[in-house]
């Protein structure tokens, strides 16, 4: 492997030095002015894909029970979103990066924060619905 790396580096150095020598020779012969340079190719616009929503799973079952699957639910003054986060929990687990309250975030963002919350506390934050839908 080391022999390959040394050989590759030698080839790279020879190539760079050789190209520089050719440029100097062409300029000395007066041919440097006749060389046409290609303009760089135009960059094609890159299509930015929206992050796909997570597949249907346990949090969708919880949301059905908690809010009727209304991910932008604001009917309760204390809890919001599909999974009924209170503002303090939403912010504590990073939801503030998306919206001030859960109802302002997408389904995927709410599931991301719920996944963090579940990793720390299990399904305890959803005591009734986690039992109703068979998650504990």
Q: Is 99 exposed, middle or buried (0-12, 13-18, 19+ CB in 10 A)?
A: middle
Residue 21 has pLDDT above 90, yes or no: no
Question: What pLDDT does residue 54 have?
Answer: 76
CATH architecture of 58-132: Orthogonal Bundle (1.10)
| Stated pTM of the model | 0.62
pLDDT-derived band at 115 (thresholds 50, 70, 90) equals very high
Spatial CB neighbours of 26, under 8 Å, sequence gap ≥ 6: 32, 35
Domain segments of the chain as ranges: 58-132
């Amino acid at each position: 492997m080391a022999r390959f790396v040394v050989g590759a580096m030698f080839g790279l150095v020879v190539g760079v030095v050789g190209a520089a020598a050719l440029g100097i020779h062409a300029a000395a012969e007066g041919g440097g002015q006749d060389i046409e340079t290609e303009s760089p190719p135009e960059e094609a616009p890159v299509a930015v894909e929206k992050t796909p929503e997570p597949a249907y799973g346990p949090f969708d079952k919880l949301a059905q029970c908690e809010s009727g699957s209304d991910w932008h639910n604001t009917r309760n003054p204390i809890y919001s979103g599909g999974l009924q986060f209170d503002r303090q929990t939403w912010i504590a687990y990073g939801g503030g990066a998306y919206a001030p309250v859960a109802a302002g975030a997408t389904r995927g963002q709410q599931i991301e924060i719920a996944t963090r919350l579940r990793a720390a506390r299990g399904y305890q934050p959803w005591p009734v619905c986690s039992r109703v839908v068979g998650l504990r």
